[in-house]
Homo-oligomer: A and B are copies of this chain.
Amino acid sequence: MEKSQKIIKQSDENCPVRKSLALLGGKWTLLILFQINDRVLRYGELKRCIPDISEKMLIQELNSLVENKLVSKKAYPEIPPRVEYCLTELGLKTLPIADKLASFGLQNLK
């Protein structure tokens, strides 16, 4: 494996780690992406997957994820409403990060 250090010279605003963290660093962001994973989930299902999140935070995160092209949203013009969320191509690329986070937690944290 190549030395990570070679990737980056200075931790300025252009640092890829900081840019990724700016996009993904929220308390819930990676967890939501990880929960959606390769599935297509309705709002309510997602909420049930992450019981501790407030409605406000969930919808707020989803909106910004959609805005940032990590998640795509499909609303059906039905009553009662149905809205489905899934990861975009870009969103799928974040899964390896969440996976590393998960395996780190599993292996090292009680």
**Which residues of A come within 8 Å of B, CB atoms?**
3-5, 7-8, 10-13, 15-21, 23-25, 27, 30-31, 34-35, 37-39, 49-52, 90, 93-109
A39 nearest CB neighbor, chain B only: B5
Q: Assess A4 versus B98: contact at CB under 8 Å? Given A17-B34, A20-B109, A30-B21.
A: yes
This protein's copies in its complex: 2
A17 to B24, CA, bound (A): 13
Contact B21 A101 (CB under 8 A): yes
- CB neighbours (8 Å) of A20 from chain B are 101-102, 104-105, 109
Asked if A15 contacts B31 (CB within 8 A), the reply is yes
From B12, B17, B90, give the contact of A101 (CB < 8 A): B17
Contacts of A15 in B (CB 8 A): 31, 105
Flag if A16 contacts B52 (CB, 8 Å): no
- A17 cross-chain contacts in B, Cβ below 8 A: 30-31, 34, 98, 101-102, 105
Complex CA distance for A96 and B21, rounded to whole angstroms = 15
Q: A4-B102, A16-B106 are in contact. List 6 more A-B contacts (CB 8 A).
A: A11-B52, A15-B31, A16-B102, A90-B108, A93-B108, A97-B97
